Amino acid sequence: MDKFVQEQLQAYQELHKNRGRLLINCPDQPGIVATVSDFLYKQGANILESSQYSTDPTEGTFFMRIEFECVGLKEKKADLEQRFKEIATKFEMKATFNFSQELKRTAIFVSKELHCLRELLWEWQSGDLNTEIALVISNHEDCREIVEALHIPFYYIPASKENRPEVEKQQLALLEQYQIDLIVLARYMQILTPTFVAQHPNQIINIHHSFLPAFVGARPYERAYQRGVKLIGATSHYVTNDLDEGPIIEQDIMRVDHQADVNRLKKIGRSIERSVLARAVKWHLEDRIIVHGNKTIIF
């Protein structure tokens, strides 16, 4: 890892050593906010940020994200999680504690288009993506120099339909070896198999170069041009077994007109793709996303 980035991450960990986040998903009912707040108060925690959302009365599902500060959190966290189980059982909660000091480890997959990779690396170097980029995997050699210049391990694994099982076996072994928490497909132009996806549920973020659900699949810019669209966009989503159908995290658009040919659409689109993917990754790293069915709640 680049020395400057390593020092930044260490400073972030020290500054946030007592910072925790709690994500909650449960049936909506009275008393949830009061009970959770009282619990954290009794553990000596100070709530820094609290956001909640409830679906319509028919479905009646409640979501909550709390960020808190608690002196000596490293020593207390196991006891904190254990004590909270009683509340989780009472309210039928899916509850997850995350601790800011424990940085998520990220793997980036990329092919020949490098603009999204460059954006992630820039955000990381700037201190805006608090993660350990543990490795980069590519089916092309194009980004090796960029990646290795930052002292990030680079793995070139040629991939195609014919060798996909063997390739994914190698990739999964690397992800296990590096203890990866998040996989980012930064314009990785290969379809992942159900076996691969099943091992990392809601941990694979993809950037699709269209405003979904329009132009699912390959060559969206060419198809957008043929259709004469007046808006182009990009979509970041979690990967599922249905191509480009996973829970959407972030989207953006830009207006275009009849003068824009395919190359112009691609150039405009790359700018949108970079920012959309970077925001989605940042929100995931900050534990701001709760997946509910095929939708996301983002605090």
pLDDT in tens, 183-242: 999 999 999 999 999 999 999 999 999 999 999 999 999 999 999 999 999 999 999 999
Q: What would the mean pLDDT of 29-41 be, rounded to a whole number?
A: 97
Looking at the chain, the number of H-run helices and the number of E-run strands are 9, 13
- Under the banding of pLDDT at 50, 70 and 90, the label for residue 162 is confident
pLDDT digits (tens, 9 = 90+) for 94-144: 999 999 999 999 999 999 999 999 999 999 999 999 999 999 999 999 999
- Under the banding of pLDDT at 50, 70 and 90, the label for residue 151 is very high
pLDDT digits (tens, 9 = 90+) for 248-296: 999 999 999 999 999 999 999 999 999 999 999 999 999 999 999 999 9
Q: Is the pLDDT of residue 4 over 90?
A: no
Catalytic-residue membership of 56? no
DSSP letter at 230 equals S
CA atoms of 284 and 247, how far apart (whole Å): 13
**Per-residue pLDDT, 59:** 83
CA atoms of 167 and 271, how far apart (whole Å): 30
Q: Is the pLDDT of residue 9 over 90?
A: yes
Which residues on neighbouring strands pair with residue 64, listed in sequence order? 24, 52
**Per-residue pLDDT, 206:** 98
Q: Is the pLDDT of residue 56 over 90?
A: no
pTM of the shown model: 0.96
Q: What would the mean pLDDT of 154-183 be, rounded to a whole number?
A: 95
Domains belonging to the chain, first-starting first, are: 17-99 (3.30.70.260), 105-298 (3.40.50.170)
Q: Which residue has the higher pLDDT, 6 or 1?
A: 6
CA atoms of 20 and 74, how far apart (whole Å): 10
Q: Is the pLDDT of residue 67 over 90?
A: yes
* Candidates 2, 56, 142, 244; catalytic one: 244
**Per-residue pLDDT, 228:** 96
220 preceded by a cis bond (ω within 30 of 0)? no
**Per-residue pLDDT, 156:** 98
Q: Is the pLDDT of residue 39 over 90?
A: yes
Q: Which two tokens stand for residue 61?
A: 């599902």
Out of 30-44, 47-61, 191-205, 244-258, pick the least confident.
Answer: 47-61
Q: For residues 64 and 36, is the Cβ–Cβ distance under 8 A?
A: yes
Q: Which two tokens stand for residue 222?
A: 């060419």
